[in-house]
Amino acid sequence: MHWTTAKLIALDRAEGFLAQGWVEHSQAAFAEKAKVLRRELPPHIIAAYDQLKIAHKEPVVGVFQETCGGCHAPLSKPAMARLNDDKEVSHCEQCGRFIYLAGGHDLAAHASAPGSRNEITS
Ligand SMILES: [Zn+2]
């Protein structure tokens, strides 16, 4: 997974937890984490992320069986090749969401596992 995508997922989770009020005792830690990630990510990525967040509940989604986890459109061969190549951040050609290869033991699957939501603060 591209480091930008990994950070976007972390940012999305941190801000998601904050928005849902799941982290009342570590609100400040999550807010700080989100702030740091926003500083580390390139400005144009943050701009695209914020734009996507207005339109979609999940701006960063996994790809399952060559299908976008957001809009469920099948990804083209070139899009899958770019995703596998992992040299840059990938977007769904249909909905524009940030996409990453889901499944296995990647960061996102791990971060969304039950009971692991506090790991994001570490
Ligand atoms: Zn899509």
Ligand 1 centre from 47 Cα, in Å?
A: 18
CA of 88 to the centre of ligand 1 (A): 17
Return phi, psi of residue 21, to 5°. 70, 30
What is the per-residue pLDDT across 57-97, written as a single tens digit (0 to 9) for each?
999 999 999 999 999 999 999 999 999 998 989 999 999 99
Cα of 24 vs centre of ligand 1, distance in Å, is 32
* Contacts with 110 (C-beta within 8 Å, 6 or more apart), sequence order: 116, 119
- Ligand 1 centroid vs 62 CA: distance in angstroms? 10
Residue 6 has pLDDT above 50, yes or no: yes
- Please tell me the distance between residue 65's alpha carbon and the centre of ligand 1 in angstroms: 13
CATH topology for 3-121 is Helix Hairpins (1.10.287)
pLDDT digits (tens, 9 = 90+) for 35-63: 999 999 999 999 999 999 999 999 999 99
**Distance, CA 25 to ligand 1 centroid (Å)?**
35
Burial level of 105, CB count in 10 A (0-12/13-18/19+)? exposed
Q: Full-prediction pTM beyond 0.85?
A: no
**What pLDDT, on a 0 to 100 scale, did the predictor assign at position 13?**
92
- What is the overall mean pLDDT for the chain? 85
pLDDT at 121 over 50: no
Ordered by start, the domain boundaries in the chain are 3-121
* Of 101 and 22, the one with more pLDDT: 101
Beta-carbon contacts of residue 58 (< 8 Å; ≥ 6 apart): 12, 69, 70, 97
